[in-house]
Chain A
């Protein structure tokens, strides 16, 4: 069934790309961003490409998360906790997708301890929600350009992982199950490799991963 998906930070590069991708698969998308101008830009950009998209702008992330089946905080790592505290009472039992990569300013290392990850921290802040790591190893610029990109998905709740897998598949990606939520430690580190590789080749941040399986 059609899902209501709240994207918090829909004005940012990742929020905007993911909103468009999910809207294209027919879901009802609630766009939210504290920068209203950016949020409207995302809204206009989606509608210009997909005139029938079921999207709308909401001003309150608490209200939006209450209404949603799936919540995606596409925000900076630094404000993850603040957002989680704010929506905590309305996301019990719901899927919260973690796509944050907790990098330092020059994007050379992760800010989380090697024994944790942004996704696991989010799960601690929202103990009664189903946090699933996904979409974090694909550059926002490549969401619409690369079809069949691998989308690594990690989570502890089987049904939630299956739901997010089907969202990824609907968006033209290839879901790859990466394991429990603790696999997020690996997934969040993968983006560093991608960024490093782009820098070496003097290209802007882009790209994604693809597992190649030998033919038998």
Chain B
């Protein structure tokens, strides 16, 4: 049985209200419950997020359609940053561990989650993957979600930020066709820009579409294959991670000051 959440083997979950009421079999009655359908996932996501904050971990949830170049982008990124920042990867796919093997070939540790029939990762799966990873404090963790522009949008994993990757071979109307995914993302990476001369993809139009569904979305264009535009992406990563670490430092300093005052 899982020691964290008690899942498996029919174990009891947290209830907090264990006595039973005598059932009234005589008639139907109405019950107001007002429960979020995603409430359970959101509770696991909060637990993951608390864990990440406590350990100063910067976590990105990478979402896209299949074939957008997520894994190629990841291996290029890992090769550039390894040695400078401790990193790890959680790979989500319906089947196979092909992607995790590609990641491990860079020398970075990776855990593969196979969702089987599932079309998305959820926060519970990620919690278990964390048990398997030997994650150093202050790491940069990439979670590569299942390739799917629909379902992963609804499931918070506890990540720090969400990055949606869109390749120019997919069409500039994708942000309008799959608005939930773009509405929830902090950054949109336009990938495969080396192919722009060969496809009908209007970059300005795509940016306009993305901003319609999400006025705050940040946007970078690159080619993971040629390395063009990779530097601004790496800078974005460093800046965002530094912001997170500085916030954590400020928080710890406040706690230290309180402790010192109490010790005196």
Task: Tell me if chain B binds chain A.
Answer: no
